[in-house]
Structure 1
């Protein structure tokens, strides 16, 4: 059970750390003014690279608690990547008047209901970007860290028709909390609903009848701020929205980075789950090499794996030439027994089954 001492500790952890610079400081981003109705009272920033071409896609990036749009961009390297590959970026930003710790209010029903609050403000930003720039809205993408990851899940749930795919980093499932105490409980992994009930929350959020966006989930195995069981709950929530196989394809790029992929009957990847062994709470980045972007800092963790690059690659935003260069230097798998094996050996299979049961995917 949650107690007051634990709640105070978590609030103190989420206060502004050294090294995070407000958007008023040096930034490559430009303000997006007068973007329309703004019931969530958010700010908006954007980045259009010099090599942007008409018909290029838009990526929405949501910062975590204590962070700003500019700070998260510097840490994650999204605008650096856009310079190379020519896509547009939108950075919604929280204001202290809404949340003292600059967290998106993913736990407030008034901010995550279709047509309301913060999710509606972000939708208005999308509309404004499409009106002002020749963006192809059909492949719009969204990603976010922590509270930003939870808000990305809210956007994918309340406006699924707007997105082709999303990436949730150290986040939480949609619709699991409606108060601050409940939010802290869910962050600890307590009280998460069964996955079928979680999926029903997504279905009811929009009345969507079409195909669902593909999602990827990223989480550190040593995250003590948002328990990794939330990753399994997100998988369960979205697994029940599609006709997917129980057993994922298991790949491991290195022993540090394991990826599970669930595909539909046509072989299309619908869910990817990336576990970074030993990583704490934050966005995994890599600051060197062809696929290295961003800069290390609070909650921007240089673990030798660039989630920014891998997410963009899964969305087909990376050029074939760059992908081939990265593939050519990728270290060989380190004897994990997980190389492209469906279900893997008995030990791996047991681990997967236990995770699926924890998420309510299997009984």
Structure 2
């Protein structure tokens, strides 16, 4: 086995997980690292096949503005009609990168199937040692400031260089990336038509690291955020066994969408061996739609993702497919 620099960095990440989250998380991380090093590894017990190379292009780019610079990876599908396409901005979680997040969510395959472009901004390790988006810092929670300015800038650059339908630009993320997606949809309702927050937190849930840790445990920030009327549709996924970001954060994300919700029990609609979930669909007083998928027994992981990416739960309902369905049903209403 070749111990390249990426492998050594992954081992260091696993050791950090051992200290911060315990042996179970560390063991899972080591299994993922070893699986990537040994490409002859057979499919996982769940039957999940290795991610295959999609026929479109998956390229690396760099964007810079007054807030700094970030790289991003861009997937453009091979098979499409030539008409302007939807664009999905995918924000990875802590310790992840674009390749890992693409493999775990299988969004490039969906992009080919549904005819959309996917962009994966990448957080710098020197901006956050765990490569988390800094969703808890005030300077990174505002329009045209810090990381939101960089993510919006990347979004606009892709829109300029490719045939993108400006009414169908969406943002999604996992964990810290989900929290940043919540910030982006609140700060840029003119840019993004809808957002998906998976295992994340509400915009304004924290203002520094201690309040972030408190919010992740399910506590209230010392300075509670003000409830704003939602301007754009939101779909939320959260495992009710999430031990990293407390499931109560899902309800915080949906404050402002009203108390009335239609609840659909999805238990009869899942495949054998898959987790069940409860889905709530709600609407704000202004008529803005929201959807909550509470996945029963699920940990802090992308539901229905591939085992060849980190922080995925292969037995969950397919969050990527459900998210895309929600997105395509909600173009921007100006």
TM range (shorter): 0.7 to 0.9
Give the 3 Å change call, closer, same or farther, for CA 184–31 of structure 1 in structure 2: same
1:95 lines up with 2:124 in the alignment: yes
Aligned length: 283
- RMSD of aligned residue pairs (Cα, Å): 2.8
Aligned pair partner of 2:148 in 119, 124, 127: 119
Aligned pair partner of 1:135 in 164, 171, 186: 164
Give the 3 Å change call, closer, same or farther, for CA 29–165 of structure 1 in structure 2: same
1:39 lines up with 2:39 in the alignment: no
1:48 lines up with 2:76 in the alignment: yes
Cα offset, 1:14, TM superposition: 8.2
- Provide the residue aligned with 2:283 in structure 1: 263
For 1:13 and 1:149, the matched residues in 2 are separated by 23
- Provide the residue aligned with 2:211 in structure 1: 182
Give the 3 Å change call, closer, same or farther, for CA 82–235 of structure 1 in structure 2: same
**Does structure 2 retain, via aligned residues, the 8 Å contact 1:216–1:271?**
yes
Q: Where in structure 1 are there 5+ consecutive unaligned residues?
A: 1-7, 204-210, 287-293, 318-363
Give the 3 Å change call, closer, same or farther, for CA 193–138 of structure 1 in structure 2: farther
1:85 lines up with 2:114 in the alignment: yes
Give the 3 Å change call, closer, same or farther, for CA 265–180 of structure 1 in structure 2: closer
1:252 lines up with 2:265 in the alignment: yes
For 2:218 and 2:260, the matched residues in 1 are separated by 23
For 2:285 and 2:84, the matched residues in 1 are separated by 30
1:1-363 to 2 correspondences below 5 Å: 9-10=20-21, 17-18=29-30, 19=32, 29-33=58-62, 35-37=63-65, 39-52=67-80, 53-192=82-221, 197-200=225-228, 212-236=231-255, 238-239=256-257, 244=258, 246-254=259-267, 256-264=276-284, 270-285=289-304, 294-295=306-307, 297-316=309-328
For 2:152 and 2:195, the matched residues in 1 are separated by 15
Give the 3 Å change call, closer, same or farther, for CA 41–14 of structure 1 in structure 2: farther
Give the 3 Å change call, closer, same or farther, for CA 40–277 of structure 1 in structure 2: farther
Cα offset, 1:10, TM superposition: 4.7
For 1:167 and 1:91, the matched residues in 2 are separated by 14
TM-score w.r.t. length of structure 2: 0.77
**Does structure 2 retain, via aligned residues, the 8 Å contact 1:296–1:302?**
no
